[in-house]
Amino acid sequence: MANVATLFGTLWPANRKRFRLLVLAFFVLLSSTLLFFRDYSPFQEWNSSLNHHLAQPRPSNEDLPAPLISTFTVTAPPHVQTQAVTVTVPDPVVFSLIMWSHNSAVEGALLIKTILMYTSSPTEFHIICDQEARDFLQGRLALLTSPLYPVKVRFYQPTLQSMMDRVNREGSLRSDHDSGIPGLMKLFIHEILPSSIKKSIYVDTDAIFISDPTLLWNVPLKPTTAVSMSYHPDENSPMWHNASKICSCVMLLNLEMLRQVRLMDSNSYHVVKDDSYPSALSPPAFRAMYGEPDQNGYLNVKLGDQGYWWAIVENRPDIFEPLSFDFEVTSCLMDTYSTGLGDDGRSEDDELPRQSHTKGTQQEGILIRPKLLHFNCLYGVDVYMEWDGWSNPEEYVTKRWGPAVSYHHGYKWIWLNQGVQSRTGRMVDVRTLTNVEFADLQFAREYAIHAS
């Protein structure tokens, strides 16, 4: 430019200064026009409206008000041939998960990733975890900057001692299972999460979604139902007291009702002599199935928390509803109902008779459309993705689902950043709560304050 100006300046030396100004003005005009066209798009108004909406601060305290249901209408500019669009942001889908140890978080992170891959709703994760698990999860979550829907994560870090103390306050529980004390926390989720969380989906870490989790969230339950999980009345297992007839690995929990019926007992409740509070629901159920506990607790309870859930489900069928097998296609005992990837053109009439392990269940004659895959009973490793069998093409699970595991496992977290980058609001809101107080202690504390 300098050379050109010099050239013209040489030709018209008197006008050199004015000419430079002219050239400058021309470039300013050109670049602002270019900027205008680059940024202009008919959807910009819609976009900014959506951005504005998504940027609204989400309730920040732990006592969330009623679920967020918002509807807003945005109108396209007049020259765009579209109708007004109504965008409804649905309720958040709420998960309560337990991840104790690094390995458990490695599996659980994959579960969370698949939830975010398929969801059409905002998501809340309430994760009961230890420091190792939280460290790993925070690393993955840091990669998530602009998901399609808002994500809220709350880590609850009770100490191992506080969990053991809660189990002891029940008085008769013990665990035979690898998952130990943290695994037993599946019976206490409603006591750890704040009472403002009224419903949640619980999933074990060794599972992945292959469908929108909103479908599971929206499964209609009877008003009397406190818990729903898959139910296999055809599974006879005398050595486990038939506890394998259910799987407490995927549960839709009505937390509000579990609190109302006081699912688990505590000696904190016994000090209060007040008939307006119900006695805990589970002790009669545990006794009916396992007999009187001795000084070490109930005998013969197998499969950890599942043995206790089984006693509850058997004794109180009124608060239980079976869940469609779609939501727990399991590699353990059920051979994933003999369905899997491949032959994508197969008809429903052709698929139904190939389905196995449904005879005598509520799923008999009803097609399973897999929505969640559960990779349990893949023994010999701490992290199921590292199972030797995945490299053996003769393994049935590998034939049916191996590619699904490698696809979801390999899918990069940064690919989840498919949404708008919000300038003001946080699309990913992660916080930790270290002072976890179980509801029975909270009750005792509040009652004491009340009484004094």
Ligand X SMILES: *[C@@H]1O[C@H](CO)[C@@H](O)[C@H](O)[C@H]1NC(C)=O
4-43 residues in contact with ligand X (CB under 6 A) are: 41, 43
Q: What sections of 40-101 are H helices per DSSP?
A: 44-55
Q: Is 55 in the site for ligand X (CB under 6 A)?
A: no
- Minimum distance of ligand X from residue 422's CB (angstroms): 7
- Minimum distance of ligand X from residue 4's CB (angstroms): 35
Considering only CA atoms, which of 59, 58, 88 is closest in space to residue 73? 88
Nearer to ligand X by Cβ, of 104 and 242: the residue is: 242
Q: How many CB atoms lie within 10 A of CB 427?
A: 22
Q: How many CB atoms lie within 10 A of CB 43?
A: 14
Q: Is 44 in the site for ligand X (CB under 6 A)?
A: yes
Nearer to ligand X by Cβ, of 59 and 233: the residue is: 233
Local structure of 285: helix, strand or coil: helix
Q: Is 361 in the site for ligand X (CB under 6 A)?
A: no
Local structure of 355: helix, strand or coil: coil
**Of all helices (H) and strands (E), which one includes residue 109?**
helix 102-118
Burial class (CB in 10 A: 0-12, 13-18, 19+), 26: exposed
Cβ–Cβ < 8 Å for 376, 203 = no
Query: Which region, judged by CB under 6 A, interacts with ligand X, from 56-64, 105-113, 179-187, 415-423?
Result: 415-423
Among residues 47, 82, 168, 267, which is the contact residue for ligand X, using CB under 6 A? 47
Nearer to ligand X by Cβ, of 180 and 425: the residue is: 425
Query: Which region, judged by CB under 6 A, interacts with ligand X, from 92-100, 106-114, 234-242, 292-300?
Result: 234-242
Kindly give, in sequence order, each residue whose CB lies less than 8 Å from that of residue 313, ignoring residues fewer than 6 positions away. Answer: 227, 229, 231, 246, 320
239-278 residues in contact with ligand X (CB under 6 A) are: 241-242
- Minimum distance of ligand X from residue 236's CB (angstroms): 4
Query: Which region, judged by CB under 6 A, interacts with ligand X, from 132-140, 334-342, 373-381, 417-425?
Result: 417-425
Please state, in angstroms and rounded to a whole number, the distance separating the CA atoms of residues 385 and 381. Answer: 9
425-444 residues in contact with ligand X (CB under 6 A) are: none
Checking 354-361 for CB contacts under 8 A at 24+ apart, the result is: 357/232, 357/234, 357/333, 358/325, 359/234, 360/233, 360/234, 361/231, 361/232, 361/233, 361/234, 361/325
Among residues 31, 131, 168, 236, which is the contact residue for ligand X, using CB under 6 A? 236
Query: Which region, judged by CB under 6 A, interacts with ligand X, from 126-134, 159-167, 168-176, 420-428?
Result: 420-428
Among residues 51, 195, 398, 442, which is the contact residue for ligand X, using CB under 6 A? 51
**Of all helices (H) and strands (E), which one includes residue 251?**
strand 246-253
Nearer to ligand X by Cβ, of 232 and 408: the residue is: 232
Nearer to ligand X by Cβ, of 136 and 290: the residue is: 290
Cβ–Cβ < 8 Å for 308, 301 = yes
- Minimum distance of ligand X from residue 258's CB (angstroms): 24
Considering only CA atoms, which of 138, 149, 78, 66 is closest in space to residue 108? 138
- Minimum distance of ligand X from residue 419's CB (angstroms): 9
107-166 residues in contact with ligand X (CB under 6 A) are: none
Q: Which residues bind ligand X (CB under 6 A)?
A: 41, 43-44, 47, 51, 236, 238, 241-242, 420-421, 423
